[in-house]
Amino acid sequence: MIPSLSTHLVRYTPPHRQGGGGEKPATVYLLKPADVFERALYESDMDRFGCRFHSDTELFDEARAALKASGGDVALLFDLVDQVQMVPDSLDDNQRQRWDRLERSLVEDWPAYREMVAMRSRYVRLMPLCAARRFLKGWENGPCEFRMGADGMVPNEMLNLIPPADLLAIGTELRRMMYLRPEEEKNSSAPSSSEPDRRILSEDGKAQAAKAGSSTQGQVRKSSKKTRD
Protein backbone atom coordinates (compact mmCIF):
# COMPACT_ATOMS: atom_id res chain seq x y z
CA MET A 1 0.00 0.00 0.00
CA ILE A 2 1.33 3.45 -0.91
CA PRO A 3 1.98 5.44 2.29
CA SER A 4 0.17 8.71 2.85
CA LEU A 5 2.26 11.71 3.83
CA SER A 6 -0.78 13.91 4.50
CA THR A 7 -2.80 13.27 7.65
CA HIS A 8 -4.69 16.48 8.50
CA LEU A 9 -8.13 17.35 7.18
CA VAL A 10 -9.28 20.75 5.93
CA ARG A 11 -12.77 21.96 6.85
CA TYR A 12 -14.33 23.45 3.74
CA THR A 13 -17.61 25.23 3.09
CA PRO A 14 -18.26 26.14 -0.58
CA PRO A 15 -18.39 29.91 -1.13
CA HIS A 16 -22.01 29.87 -2.25
CA ARG A 17 -22.96 28.23 1.07
CA GLN A 18 -21.20 30.79 3.24
CA GLY A 19 -22.85 33.67 5.04
CA GLY A 20 -25.68 31.77 6.72
CA GLY A 21 -29.30 32.64 6.13
CA GLY A 22 -30.53 29.07 5.71
CA GLU A 23 -32.80 27.07 7.98
CA LYS A 24 -29.92 24.83 9.01
CA PRO A 25 -26.14 25.26 9.20
CA ALA A 26 -24.23 24.91 5.94
CA THR A 27 -22.54 21.60 5.24
CA VAL A 28 -18.85 21.54 6.08
CA TYR A 29 -16.86 19.07 3.97
CA LEU A 30 -13.72 17.45 5.38
CA LEU A 31 -11.04 17.36 2.70
CA LYS A 32 -7.72 15.55 2.77
CA PRO A 33 -4.89 17.37 0.98
CA ALA A 34 -3.23 14.93 -1.42
CA ASP A 35 0.40 13.99 -0.98
CA VAL A 36 2.65 13.35 -3.97
CA PHE A 37 1.66 9.67 -4.25
CA GLU A 38 -2.05 10.33 -3.92
CA ARG A 39 -1.85 13.10 -6.49
CA ALA A 40 -0.24 10.66 -8.92
CA LEU A 41 -3.08 8.18 -8.31
CA TYR A 42 -5.66 10.91 -8.96
CA GLU A 43 -3.88 11.87 -12.18
CA SER A 44 -3.88 8.20 -13.20
CA ASP A 45 -7.64 8.14 -12.68
CA MET A 46 -8.00 11.12 -15.00
CA ASP A 47 -5.75 9.50 -17.61
CA ARG A 48 -7.75 6.28 -17.42
CA PHE A 49 -10.94 8.17 -18.26
CA GLY A 50 -9.27 10.09 -21.08
CA CYS A 51 -9.52 13.47 -19.34
CA ARG A 52 -7.36 16.44 -20.22
CA PHE A 53 -8.14 20.14 -20.09
CA HIS A 54 -6.66 21.29 -23.40
CA SER A 55 -6.03 25.01 -23.24
CA ASP A 56 -7.71 27.50 -25.56
CA THR A 57 -4.32 28.03 -27.20
CA GLU A 58 -4.04 24.33 -28.02
CA LEU A 59 -7.53 24.30 -29.52
CA PHE A 60 -6.93 27.39 -31.62
CA ASP A 61 -3.62 25.95 -32.86
CA GLU A 62 -5.39 22.74 -33.85
CA ALA A 63 -8.05 24.76 -35.67
CA ARG A 64 -5.30 26.47 -37.67
CA ALA A 65 -3.71 23.09 -38.45
CA ALA A 66 -7.04 21.83 -39.77
CA LEU A 67 -7.50 24.89 -41.97
CA LYS A 68 -3.96 24.59 -43.32
CA ALA A 69 -4.49 20.91 -44.13
CA SER A 70 -7.68 21.67 -46.05
CA GLY A 71 -5.67 23.14 -48.90
CA GLY A 72 -8.38 25.64 -49.82
CA ASP A 73 -8.52 29.41 -49.77
CA VAL A 74 -8.86 29.84 -46.02
CA ALA A 75 -7.17 33.20 -45.44
CA LEU A 76 -10.41 34.75 -44.18
CA LEU A 77 -10.95 31.83 -41.81
CA PHE A 78 -7.41 32.22 -40.44
CA ASP A 79 -8.22 35.86 -39.78
CA LEU A 80 -11.42 34.82 -38.01
CA VAL A 81 -9.55 32.39 -35.73
CA ASP A 82 -7.06 35.14 -34.87
CA GLN A 83 -9.86 37.55 -34.00
CA VAL A 84 -11.71 35.03 -31.83
CA GLN A 85 -8.53 34.22 -29.92
CA MET A 86 -7.06 37.69 -29.55
CA VAL A 87 -9.98 40.13 -29.37
CA PRO A 88 -13.16 38.15 -28.58
CA ASP A 89 -14.96 41.22 -27.22
CA SER A 90 -14.67 43.00 -30.56
CA LEU A 91 -16.63 40.39 -32.54
CA ASP A 92 -19.94 41.36 -34.09
CA ASP A 93 -22.90 39.00 -34.47
CA ASN A 94 -21.88 37.96 -37.97
CA GLN A 95 -18.38 37.00 -36.84
CA ARG A 96 -19.76 35.02 -33.91
CA GLN A 97 -22.08 33.12 -36.23
CA ARG A 98 -19.21 32.40 -38.62
CA TRP A 99 -17.10 31.11 -35.72
CA ASP A 100 -19.95 28.90 -34.48
CA ARG A 101 -20.27 27.37 -37.95
CA LEU A 102 -16.52 26.87 -38.25
CA GLU A 103 -16.25 25.24 -34.85
CA ARG A 104 -19.12 22.85 -35.59
CA SER A 105 -17.38 21.93 -38.83
CA LEU A 106 -14.09 21.31 -37.00
CA VAL A 107 -15.79 19.04 -34.47
CA GLU A 108 -17.55 17.09 -37.21
CA ASP A 109 -14.72 16.84 -39.76
CA TRP A 110 -11.37 17.06 -37.93
CA PRO A 111 -10.79 14.06 -35.60
CA ALA A 112 -7.92 15.61 -33.63
CA TYR A 113 -9.97 18.71 -32.79
CA ARG A 114 -13.01 16.61 -31.93
CA GLU A 115 -10.98 14.46 -29.54
CA MET A 116 -9.44 17.50 -27.82
CA VAL A 117 -12.92 18.94 -27.24
CA ALA A 118 -14.14 15.57 -25.92
CA MET A 119 -11.17 15.23 -23.55
CA ARG A 120 -11.76 18.72 -22.20
CA SER A 121 -15.44 18.01 -21.67
CA ARG A 122 -14.64 14.77 -19.82
CA TYR A 123 -12.14 16.64 -17.65
CA VAL A 124 -14.70 19.24 -16.58
CA ARG A 125 -17.35 16.63 -15.84
CA LEU A 126 -15.18 14.02 -14.10
CA MET A 127 -12.58 16.10 -12.25
CA PRO A 128 -14.87 16.88 -9.27
CA LEU A 129 -16.00 13.25 -9.01
CA CYS A 130 -12.49 11.78 -9.21
CA ALA A 131 -11.13 14.27 -6.67
CA ALA A 132 -14.01 13.91 -4.19
CA ARG A 133 -13.97 10.13 -4.50
CA ARG A 134 -10.38 10.00 -3.25
CA PHE A 135 -10.06 13.00 -0.94
CA LEU A 136 -13.45 13.73 0.65
CA LYS A 137 -13.25 12.13 4.10
CA GLY A 138 -16.43 13.25 5.81
CA TRP A 139 -18.91 16.05 6.37
CA GLU A 140 -20.64 17.98 9.11
CA ASN A 141 -24.32 18.92 8.80
CA GLY A 142 -24.52 16.60 5.82
CA PRO A 143 -27.59 14.84 4.40
CA CYS A 144 -26.85 11.61 6.28
CA GLU A 145 -24.15 9.85 8.23
CA PHE A 146 -21.02 9.82 6.09
CA ARG A 147 -19.45 6.48 5.27
CA MET A 148 -16.54 5.31 3.17
CA GLY A 149 -16.48 2.36 0.80
CA ALA A 150 -14.58 -0.85 1.46
CA ASP A 151 -11.84 0.38 -0.89
CA GLY A 152 -11.24 3.47 1.27
CA MET A 153 -12.89 5.82 -1.22
CA VAL A 154 -16.25 7.58 -1.28
CA PRO A 155 -18.92 5.30 -2.79
CA ASN A 156 -21.25 6.50 -5.53
CA GLU A 157 -24.27 6.58 -3.22
CA MET A 158 -22.50 9.19 -1.07
CA LEU A 159 -21.39 11.26 -4.07
CA ASN A 160 -24.96 11.22 -5.37
CA LEU A 161 -26.10 13.09 -2.24
CA ILE A 162 -23.79 16.06 -2.83
CA PRO A 163 -25.44 18.97 -4.70
CA PRO A 164 -23.74 19.51 -8.10
CA ALA A 165 -22.60 23.05 -7.24
CA ASP A 166 -21.03 21.78 -4.00
CA LEU A 167 -19.33 18.93 -5.84
CA LEU A 168 -17.80 21.32 -8.38
CA ALA A 169 -16.53 23.59 -5.59
CA ILE A 170 -15.11 20.61 -3.67
CA GLY A 171 -13.29 19.32 -6.74
CA THR A 172 -11.90 22.75 -7.58
CA GLU A 173 -10.63 23.27 -4.02
CA LEU A 174 -9.07 19.80 -3.86
CA ARG A 175 -7.28 20.36 -7.15
CA ARG A 176 -6.06 23.76 -5.94
CA MET A 177 -4.61 22.15 -2.82
CA MET A 178 -2.88 19.47 -4.90
CA TYR A 179 -0.78 22.04 -6.71
CA LEU A 180 -0.09 24.59 -3.97
CA ARG A 181 3.34 26.16 -4.04
CA PRO A 182 5.30 25.58 -0.80
CA GLU A 183 4.86 29.19 0.33
CA GLU A 184 1.07 28.82 -0.01
CA GLU A 185 0.73 25.69 2.10
CA LYS A 186 0.53 27.58 5.39
CA ASN A 187 -2.58 29.35 4.07
CA SER A 188 -4.31 26.24 2.76
CA SER A 189 -6.88 25.87 5.55
CA ALA A 190 -10.26 26.42 3.98
CA PRO A 191 -12.68 28.82 5.66
CA SER A 192 -15.94 27.91 7.28
CA SER A 193 -19.07 30.04 7.05
CA SER A 194 -17.46 32.46 9.51
CA GLU A 195 -15.22 33.72 6.68
CA PRO A 196 -17.72 34.58 3.93
CA ASP A 197 -15.50 37.04 2.06
CA ARG A 198 -12.62 34.73 1.21
CA ARG A 199 -12.83 33.40 -2.33
CA ILE A 200 -12.04 29.72 -2.65
CA LEU A 201 -13.48 28.83 -6.03
CA SER A 202 -10.83 30.41 -8.23
CA GLU A 203 -11.46 32.22 -11.48
CA ASP A 204 -9.93 29.16 -13.13
CA GLY A 205 -12.52 26.94 -11.49
CA LYS A 206 -15.36 29.22 -12.55
CA ALA A 207 -14.06 29.29 -16.12
CA GLN A 208 -13.89 25.51 -16.25
CA ALA A 209 -17.42 25.23 -14.93
CA ALA A 210 -18.68 27.65 -17.55
CA LYS A 211 -16.96 25.66 -20.27
CA ALA A 212 -18.43 22.29 -19.28
CA GLY A 213 -19.23 20.33 -22.39
CA SER A 214 -18.02 23.10 -24.67
CA SER A 215 -14.90 24.04 -26.57
CA THR A 216 -13.45 27.36 -27.60
CA GLN A 217 -16.88 28.72 -28.45
CA GLY A 218 -16.84 30.11 -24.93
CA GLN A 219 -13.87 32.26 -25.88
CA VAL A 220 -16.19 34.36 -28.03
CA ARG A 221 -18.32 35.35 -25.08
CA LYS A 222 -15.88 35.62 -22.21
CA SER A 223 -14.05 38.79 -21.35
CA SER A 224 -10.51 39.47 -22.44
CA LYS A 225 -9.30 38.92 -18.89
CA LYS A 226 -7.04 35.88 -18.98
CA THR A 227 -7.61 32.94 -16.69
CA ARG A 228 -5.04 30.32 -15.83
CA ASP A 229 -5.63 26.72 -16.91
H helices within the chain, ranges in order?
36-48, 56-70, 75-86, 93-109, 111-135, 156-159, 164-178, 203-210, 217-221
* Distance, CA of 131 to CA of 171 (rounded, Å): 5
Residue 139 has a pLDDT of: 96
| Tens of pLDDT, residue by residue, the chain (229 residues) | 444 455 689 999 999 988 766 678 899 999 999 998 999 999 999 999 898 989 999 999 999 999 999 888 899 999 999 999 999 888 899 999 999 999 999 999 999 999 999 999 999 899 999 999 999 999 999 999 999 999 999 999 999 999 999 999 999 999 999 887 544 444 444 333 323 222 222 334 333 333 333 433 333 333 333 333 4
Return the number of other C-beta atoms located less than 10 Å from residue 204's C-beta: 15
Q: Check if the beta carbon of residue 208 is closer than 8 Å to that of residue 124.
A: yes
pTM recorded for the entire structure = 0.65
* Distance, CA of 166 to CA of 146 (rounded, Å): 16
108-146 exposure pattern, b = at least 16 Cβ within 10 A, e = fewer: eebeebeebbbbbbbbbebbbbbbbbbbbebbeeeeeeb
* Distance, CA of 179 to CA of 156 (rounded, Å): 26
Residue 22 has a pLDDT of: 64
What 3-state class would DSSP assign to 30?
A: strand
Show Cβ contacts of residue 127 under 8 Å, excluding neighbours closer than 6 positions: 46, 51, 53, 171, 175, 208
Q: How far apart are the first and last CA of the chain?
A: 32
Residue 211 has a pLDDT of: 39
Domain layout of the chain by residue ranges: 10-52+119-210, 56-118
Residue 221 has a pLDDT of: 33
Residue 8 has a pLDDT of: 85
* Distance, CA of 48 to CA of 126 (rounded, Å): 11
What 3-state class would DSSP assign to 165?
A: helix
Identify the H or E element spanning 31: strand 28-31
